[in-house]
Chains A and B, each alone.
Chain A
Amino acid sequence: MAGKTDLRRFPGFLAVTTLCLFVLYAPLIVVAVYSFNASTSITNWGGMSLMWYVDVFTGPEAPKFQKAALNSMIIAVCASVIATIVATLAAVAMTRAGRLRGKIFSFALINLPLMVPEVVTAVASLVFFSAIGFTTGLTTILIAHTVFCIPFAYLPISARMQSIPDMYEQAAMDLYASPREAFRLVLLPLMTPGILSGFLLAFIISLDDFLITNFVKGAGVETLPTAIFGSVKQGIKPNIMAISTLMLVVSVAFVSLSWLVGRMGQDKKKNN
């Protein structure tokens, strides 16, 4: 850039970016701060205190939220593990099976959950489960979550696959590895960063879901988002802010982990 004026810069863009980040973070920071409020009112500031965090774990609503959190964890772990396995197999097929009949159809099918609006998926799932006489509960939530987790797991895995040339496996097979061994001993380790970030993505997406869960959960079964929603409908209480802050910390920890894993993969590539 030897020019007189730097053509990359536009006046005001820094200000807009700052505004953007401010809008994105302000509500979260405010809630995190107010979660340490010592007052029982959500409006007045009564000094710093951890009382609402204690309340989350020991208060009258603690059993309800603990059960909901456990349900959320069980579903998120199971759905993301299944989705990651299915997505890994699909990604291998899409990038390593040469000419494949119905490739475009498969691609569209895998990405279908991203294209159908969430509320439509929710309605369709409810209608389907009721039509075939499935009792709604944890199983129906798990099935619905697995479906929409697949494309989220697939995206990072297939992106990673496309950047791995098949010469490593070819070399292994020239040295008499079976396709199965070449997959397990050569391709799988190379894919690991993609698989990990796909898994983390699917996990967070599952934890995040409210709308579909709310449709297919059935009576009496709650996940953390549906329990929080039910509570918020009667007004925001301080314990909700403490729970929100805890979930915020968990989400940020997960994303940071995913980011670090992704960076590790990139650094390795550079060193090669």
Chain B
Amino acid sequence: MGAGNSSQIYQGSGWKLLFPSWIIIGIFLLAPVLMMGVYSFLTKEFRGGVIWQFSLDAYDQFFFDRGLFGDEPPRLEWTYIGIFWRSIWQAGLATIACLLIGFPTAWFIATRNPKSRSTWLFLVTIPYWVNLLIRTVSMKFLIRDTGPLNEFLLSFGIIDAPLGLINTNFAVQLGLFYSYLPFMVLPIYAAVERYDFSLSEAAADLYAGRWTILRLVILPVVKPGIVAGCILVFVPSLGAFLAPDLLGGAKTFMIGSLIEEQFKGNAGNWPFGAAASMILLTIVMCVLLVYARNQNKVEAR
């Protein structure tokens, strides 16, 4: 946490200054998350909402199938585990796509002269600041069957029939990639900017080729930036709602839509939605904990 830390001008009044943030985040985020945990153990009310009675139904419904009337021996229920698995898979593919495009981009920008660097960075970050909903709608507009992309390709005879991109897994991955790409570029850029090029020169003097240097010298050195970028893309992709909802169809259902559906109108199941949220939160916290522990190890070295 940086250089200014040793300063003690406001020694003793620190807690007064921190008090507002404790109160706001504590009451309106930490307490609600705990409350959500409680809700996941309550009984559902049929018109949305809960009955205050302890029940494991929500988790039971998530993991087990007891038949139509609930009297058969429990079997593992794959519907929801499948949705989680597909979400992890989709988010993973989007992360890999971001890495494959983001690393060369970050490298290219970080090796420009310092003046043009900030302009390139600015160009990459602008789309991030445009409303996510609008970006996703724009992507939908562009790639839909009668959209400009297909019209363009058809009119030049490159394809005979529309590509049929919309409502596919690929469209969801493209949407996630498009949503979170800048999150990959920025940390890798920061790592490459600090990279000491005398390492590359030393490797080249020992007759290493360009790509060997990239693989054996550069990648290990900038790995912290790559890992940070992957986390920043993977975590929001996992719980994303807009890209799967607008670009995917019923077949590409992801965690975000599953949870959202439980709270829509009267048809939902609040405890089940809370339980699914708890499971998502647990996965994300595990990813972040593993990351934090590795980070500490790196710093300790």
Contact = CB atoms under 8 A, between A and B. Distances in A.
B137 A244 contact: yes
B281 interface: yes
Interface residues of B, number: 100
A8 B111 contact: yes
A117 B12 CA distance: 34
Contacts of B148: 30, 34
A137 to B, nearest CB: 15
Interface in A162-206: 162-166, 169-170, 173, 179, 182, 204
A228 B133 contact: yes
A62 interface: no
A3 B201 contact: yes
Interface in B106-138: 107-109, 111, 118, 120, 122-127, 129-135, 137-138
Contacts of B101: 16, 19-20, 23
A30 B138 contact: yes
Q: How large is the interface on A (under 10, 10 to 19, 20 to 34, 35 or more residues)?
A: 35 or more
Given A5-B204, A7-B210, A110-B25, A236 B270 contact: no
Interface string A196-227: 00000000100110110011000000000100
Nearest to B11: A98
24 contacts: A5-B210, A8-B200, A12-B104, A16-B104, A17-B120, A20-B102, A31-B134, A31-B138, A86-B20, A89-B18, A92-B17, A93-B16, A97-B12, A100-B15, A106-B21, A121-B32, A126-B263, A127-B274, A146-B24, A150-B21, A150-B25, A179-B10, A229-B133, A236-B140
A244 B147 CA distance: 17
A161 interface: yes
Contacts of B246: 232
Interface of B: 1-18, 20-22, 24-26, 28-33, 35-36, 39, 49, 101-102, 104-105, 107-109, 111, 118, 120, 122-127, 129-135, 137-142, 146-148, 151, 177-178, 181, 185, 197, 200-201, 204, 210-211, 213-214, 235-236, 238-239, 241-242, 246, 255-256, 259-260, 263, 270, 273-274, 277, 280-281, 284-285, 288
